[in-house]
Amino acid sequence: MNFPEKLKSFQEQFEKRLVSDLPKSTERPSRLHEAMNYSLQAGGKRLRPVLVLSGHSLFPSKLDPMPAALAVEIIHTYSLIHDDLPAMDDSDLRRGSPSCHRAFDEATAILAGDALIPLAFEQLARAYQGSSSLGLELVGLLAVAAGSQKLVGGQMEDLLAEGKSPEADTLSYVHANKTAAMIETSLLMGFCLSENGGNIELRSLVSQAGQSLGLAFQAVDDLLDVTSTTEELGKEAAHDQDTEKMTWVRMLGVKQANELACAHTEQALRMIKEIGGDNHFLLKLAEHMLRRKN
């Protein structure tokens, strides 16, 4: 298996479906749809959809994982639009371009994020209506991951922690819920659509692998904030440092934060090997996530 080629193939497949399955920017209200598409089509790593496709490819089935991949990226994009707002993280750049509220205006950005949330669940409901129990399960998984005790709750705790001395309990909560929950759910949703999606033991391993991948991803994010440039990141470098965000680097220093990222990655690799199936791509992806530069 050629990992770079496989990764590029997954990303290109996703981009094609993203363009074909979304409301057109010219459709009324055009300004709203233009803002939604501006953020959705801004590029990026497409990690979450790739994880959906990776989870499915462990034990491939005839079920199409792409609508689930679209749904998780739509939710992720809404969260980025809202995170960048002046009332939240107040970020001017996202993926190398002006953030949504800078490219349009604050009200339009809020509404674009609002509109993306139901769009994600519409994708799931429409695509998997032929298997209502599976569709309901996918809707439930994504709803929980995006809700008040996961993604949104993590963002709330992150905002409350700004400027305070780092605490391991708070930091672990923020990273496990704001970041890792959606990464875990992306992998799990893909696996649920696979041939072995009903295997409870394997589901548990997939969840553990996804959680570890998410925790490693956030630890690397904390490191990149202080070791990369704005051009490399596509967003403001040292933003977390300047706003006194609670990060592993601020609490542990660069060396120990890197060791933490490596430890979570090793845990994920062990789980992926135990899952079995066609796991070669997912193993390489885990290593790639650790070495990433943005």
Q: What is the pLDDT of residue 77?
A: 97
Question: Position 2: which residue type?
Answer: N
φ/ψ of residue 97, rounded to 5:
-125, 165
26-55 pLDDT, tens digit each? 999 999 999 999 999 998 899 999 999 999
Q: How many domains does the chain have?
A: 1
Q: Which two tokens stand for residue 16?
A: 């094609």
pLDDT value for 32? 98
What average pLDDT does the segment 53-73 reach?
A: 98
Which residues fall within 8 angstroms of residue 195, CB to CB, at 6 or more apart? 59, 60, 61
Q: What is the pLDDT of residues 95-129, one digit of tens each?
A: 889 999 999 999 999 999 999 999 999 999 999 99
Residue 286 domain boundaries: 3-291
**What does each C-alpha distance from 55 to 50, 85, 143, 279 come to in angstroms?**
9, 32, 19, 9
Task: For residue 150, name the pLDDT band (cuts at 50, 70, 90).
Answer: very high
Instruction: Please give the share of the chain, as a percent, with pLDDT higher than 90.
Output: 82
Query: The tokens of 282 are what?
Result: 């997912």
> What contacts 24+ positions apart, CB below 8 Å, involve 270-273?
271/205, 271/206, 271/208, 271/209, 271/212, 272/209
pLDDT score, position 235: 67
Helix (H) or strand (E) holding 98: strand 97-98
Average pLDDT, the chain: 93
Q: Residue 156: exposed, middle, or buried by beta-carbon count in 10 A (0-12, 13-18, 19+)? A: middle
Q: 232 falls in which pLDDT band (50, 70, 90)?
A: low
Residue with more model confidence, 117 or 165: 117
How many Å apart are CA 194 and CA 18, to the nearest integer?
21
pLDDT score recorded for residue 60: 97
User: For the domain that residue 212 is a member of, what is the CATH number?
Assistant: 1.10.600.10
Residue 196 CA: distances (Å) to CA of 50, 51, 59, 206: 19, 16, 6, 11
Asked if the model's pLDDT at residue 171 lies above 70, the reply is: yes
